[in-house]
Every structure is written in structure tokens, then in C-alpha cells.
């Protein structure tokens, strides 16, 4: 913390680099507050983002102007509308003032509490507000091709480190050695103890690496995997043709070893999007189809012949709908949807109720107004990334364009959030939105952002 305070004055670009690198470290805290079930930890990215935003605000006040690139203003405005609806929705718990009984989000707890305005509403909105400001900051910075290249380099580097640390955790579990959680898993929040979870009857210890839970780990790694697509299917790279491919292999192996249904579904989604992109660019080759079929046959063969792999698939996917976590998630979604039906316009107020998904979470907390604002922003973001990729389709360089990479990353992230949880408290979500907005710039896509492979 003292080092970052010095760097924000002398070397602010180092603070930005640290913020990008620590985005996946959701189980790492710079400071812990509270104790027991009410304990929480401030994530590293959040602390560094606040420093960057404060410096940005001081410079803007000193110069009497806020410089925001014209290419990102429209999308930033639509995201701002969603944040504004979240702020207005905070009036709802004041208006309800205990007239609505909210069910506990825990599966075996059927107690109810009256809905009133609490500090949870304030902290929940602060996450949204800081995340929005960080998104605009990242988008404004990464319109420049050299900054986009640097951010991609740092984020991929972070994902590779996180994946390697996850495999290190796996090796310790296999050797029955203690995992040094105090290094990166030091958050006092009860949700950050995912490294203690086991799958099924305790046969397999789940991997979390530096994340709070396996599903959040694989979501960040899948986004990192999107940045290796130019080296896998295009003519460019971030580190090097072979280094990027090794990084992709490491990320895929860690996603498979994490025993997360979110990771398995995400890999399938990524594969389908890659097939679609290859078809659009006219590069869907027979060897890719044959390799994909062989991969599917290998997975089926492993399912029937390897007992450990069989148990992982059964517990992580086939029996997922009857697991404790799945039933608890279904409970939160069901009751949150009932609250939305009672208050459909603005919901019951941001951060008032829990729902372990994206759609019902927004509907129940911000109503139809908030869901419409968020949907318009997401729709425009995805539409703009596709529009700026049209030139790449013609030139057969579809996977080399930032807009293509970010379209795939955003689609995977949002679809996984729809079946897991709205990741508004995690830095990778706001970073990808920001760099996704930047990728819609024609200047960025018309330039040579990534390095070209040797002919």
C-alpha cells in the first residue's frame, strides 16, 4: 500500500500495470475488515483502481477538463444510464421500509427479514460506480493501439501466472501437502475460502488458485484464452507464436482441472464461437473439424475408462442440478423473481436481494428500467464489435482484430454470468467491458495492434 501511494505520484503507469495484473486475484486483499460471517476484504484491483481514478480526477480538476475520447463516449453514456438507474433504485428500500419480507439466500435457512435501506445498499452501489469509472478509464486509455497491446500483454501474463499457480495447487493436493493460502488467499471474506472445497464425496479438491471459487477462476482464464486466438487461428500474436500457444494450452488445462461446470460450459461456448468466426472468415478447414471430432471422442473415451475423470464429469455436470450449490442458486433466483413481480419498475433497490444469475439479479434489484438500460448497452457493445470486424472478414484477418477477440470474450463472459452470478464486484468484468468499448474504435482496428507472424 505505501509503495502504490508513491507510484501513483511518480509512476502512475506502474499502478495501472499492477491493477491489470491483479484483476483475477479476487481472493487477495490489501486490507480485511470485520470478522466472522460479516468479514470482507478489499481486493487489490479495487484499491489500485481507486488510486488511478483519484489521480485522474485531480488532473481533470487541475486542467479544468475531462478528456474522453470521442470513440467511446456513446457506449460510456449508455453504461452511465444503467449506473444512474441503480442509483435511483436505492429509493425503493426507503419507500418499501420493511413492508416486504426477504427470504434468506441460504438453502437450509427459511427465515425472512424485512427489507430496509442498509449500508449494504451503499457499498453495493459503490462497487457499481467505481466499476463504471474504471471501465471508462480503461476504455479511454486503450483506444491507443500501443496501450491496447500493453493491456493485452499484462492481462494474458496475469492469467498465465494464475493458471500456473492453480496447477501448483493441484500438485500439492495430489501429494497431500498443505496449500500456502496465506500468500494469495488472504481475504477474510467467507466466500474466499473456495480452496477448501471438495467435489462429490471429497475425492477431488477443487482448484481456485488466487480466485474466490473455481467458477470465478475459469471465467478469468477463459477471457485470457480469447487473447491467444490470434496466435492459434490468425496471423498475429501477443508474446510470440509458440509462447501464445503454450499459454493457451496452460489455460485450457487449468480450466479442465478446476472441475467447474462453468469452465466446461465456457470452453464449449468458446469452441462454438471460434467455429462461427472461422466460418465467417472462410477459414474453417477440414483438419480443424477432424481434430475437433477426435477431441470429442477422446473425452468420451476418458469418461468411460478413467474413473477419476468419470467422477468429475458426473459431479460437476451430470449431477449438478441436484447439488447443494445448484439448489441454493435456484432458491435465490426463484425468490428474487417474485420480488421483481411485486416491484417490476425499479425493483427493490440495488444490492437489496441476492440472485445467483445475471438476468433476475438485475430485474429484481433495478426492475425493467435497469434491465432495459443494461441490455441496450450490451446490445450496442456487441453490435459495434461485430460492425468493426467487417473489414477483417473481407481481408481474411478475422482473428487478428481486437474487436473480434473482445466480441468473443464479452459473449463468453456475459453468458457465463447469466448462469453463475453477476460479477459486478470483480475487476475482470469491468476491465473487459472497458477494453471492449475501446475495441470498437475504427482507429484501433485499422492499425497493427498485435505483432505479425513471420511468413
pLDDT value of residue 105 = 80
pLDDT value of residue 168 = 94
pLDDT value of residue 315 = 55
Long-range contacts of 276-282 (CB under 8 A, 24+ apart): 277/233, 277/398, 277/399, 277/404, 277/408, 278/233, 278/398, 280/393, 280/398, 281/392, 281/393, 281/396, 281/397, 281/398, 281/399, 282/396
Residues facing 236 on adjacent strands: 452
- Would strands 451-452 and 101-103 be described as parallel, antiparallel, or unpaired? unpaired
pLDDT higher than threshold 80 for residue 304: no
- Higher confidence at residue 375 or residue 233? 375
pLDDT value of residue 203 = 57
Domain positions in the chain are: 82-179+192-452
pLDDT value of residue 314 = 55
Q: Measured between alpha carbons, how far is residue 73 from residues 79, 86, 127, 371 in Å? A: 10, 20, 21, 21
Q: Where are the beta strands (DSSP E) in 74-139?
A: 101-103, 112-114
> Following CA atoms 440, 142, 77, 222 in sequence, which dihedral angle do they give, to the nearest 10 degrees?
70
Q: Which residue in the block uniquely carries the three cell numbers 494474458?
A: 156
Instruction: Kindly report, residue by residue over 365-412, the tens digit of the pLDDT.
Output: 999 999 999 999 999 999 998 887 765 554 557 788 888 899 999 999
Task: Confirm if 209 and 165 have CB atoms less than 8 A apart.
Answer: yes
Instruction: Kindly report, residue by residue over 115-170, the tens digit of the pLDDT.
Output: 999 999 999 999 999 999 999 999 999 998 899 999 999 999 999 999 999 999 98
pTM: 0.90
pLDDT value of residue 286 = 61
Instruction: Kindly report, residue by residue over 43-86, the tens digit of the pLDDT.
Output: 999 999 999 999 999 988 888 777 888 889 999 999 999 999 99
Instruction: Kindly report, residue by residue over 180-204, the tens digit of the pLDDT.
Output: 988 998 988 877 777 777 665 455 6
Amino acid at each position: 500500500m505505501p509503495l502504490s501511494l508513491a507510484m501513483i505520484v511518480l509512476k502512475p503507469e506502474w499502478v495501472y500495470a499492477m491493477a491489470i495484473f491483479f484483476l483475477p486475484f479476487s481472493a487477495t486483499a490489501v486490507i480485511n475488515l470485520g470478522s466472522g460471517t460479516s468479514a470482507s476484504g478489499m481486493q487489490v484491483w479495487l484499491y489500485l483502481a481507486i488510486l488511478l481514478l483519484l489521480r485522474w480526477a485531480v488532473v481533470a480538476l487541475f486542467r479544468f477538463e475531462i478528456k474522453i475520447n470521442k470513440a467511446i463516449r456513446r457506449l460510456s453514456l449508455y453504461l452511465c444510464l444503467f449506473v444512474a438507474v441503480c442509483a435511483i433504485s436505492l429509493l425503493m428500500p426507503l419507500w418499501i421500509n420493511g413492508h416486504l419480507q426477504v427470504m434468506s439466500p441460504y438453502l437450509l435457512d427459511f427465515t425472512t427479514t424485512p427489507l430496509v435501506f442498509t449500508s449494504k445498499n451503499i457499498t453495493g452501489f459503490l462497487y457499481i460506480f467505481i466499476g463504471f469509472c474504471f471501465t471508462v478509464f480503461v476504455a479511454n486509455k486503450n483506444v491507443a493501439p500501443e496501450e491496447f497491446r500493453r493491456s493485452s500483454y499484462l492481462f494474458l501474463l496475469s492469467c498465465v501466472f494464475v493458471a500456473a499457480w492453480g496447477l501448483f495447487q493441484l500438485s500439492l493436493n495430489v501429494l497431500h501437502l498443505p496449500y500456502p493460502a496465506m500468500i494469495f488467499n488472504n481475504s477474510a471474506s467467507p466466500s474466499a475460502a473456495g480452496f477448501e472445497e471438495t467435489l462429490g464425496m471429497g475425492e477431488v479438491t477443487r482448484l481456485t488458485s488466487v480466485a474466490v471459487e473455481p467458477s470465478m477462476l475459469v471465467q478469468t482464464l477463459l477471457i485470457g484464452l480469447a487473447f491467444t486466438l490470434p496466435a492459434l487461428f490468425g496471423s498475429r500474436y501477443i508474446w510470440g507464436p509458440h509462447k501464445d500457444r503454450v499459454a493457451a494450452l496452460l489455460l485450457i488445462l487449468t480450466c479442465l482441472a478446476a472441475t467447474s461446470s462453468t469452465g466446461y460450459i465456457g470452453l464449449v461456448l468458446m469452441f462454438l464461437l471460434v467455429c462461427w468466426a472461422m466460418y465467417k472468415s472462410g477459414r474453417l478447414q477440414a483438419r480443424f473439424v477432424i481434430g475437433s471430432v477426435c477431441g470429442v471422442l477422446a473425452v468420451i473415451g476418458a469418461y468411460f475408462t478413467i474413473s477419476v475423470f468419470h467422477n468429475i464429469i458426473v459431479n460437476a455436470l451430470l449431477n449438478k442440478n441436484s447439488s447443494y450449490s445448484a439448489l441454493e442458486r435456484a432458491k435465490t433466483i426463484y425468490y428474487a423473481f417474485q420480488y421483481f413481480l411485486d416491484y417490476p419498475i425499479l425493483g427493490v433497490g440495488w444490492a437489496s436481494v441476492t440472485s445467483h444469475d445475471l438476468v433476475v439479479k438485475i430485474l429484481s434489484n433495478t426492475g425493467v428500467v435497469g434491465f432495459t438500460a443494461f441490455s441496450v448497452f450490451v446490445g450496442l457493445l456487441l453490435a459495434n464489435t461485430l460492425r468493426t470486424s467487417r473489414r477483417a472478414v473481407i481481408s481474411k484477418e478475422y482473428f487478428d482484430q481486437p474487436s473480434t477477440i473482445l466480441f468473443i470474450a464479452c459473449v463468453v463472459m456475459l453468458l457465463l454470468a447469466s448462469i453463475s452470478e453477476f460479477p459486478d464486484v470483480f475487476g475482470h468484468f469491468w476491465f473487459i467491458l472497458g477494453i471492449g468499448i475501446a475495441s470498437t474504435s475504427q482507429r484501433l482496428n485499422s492499425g497493427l495492434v498485435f505483432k505479425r507472424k513471420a511468413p
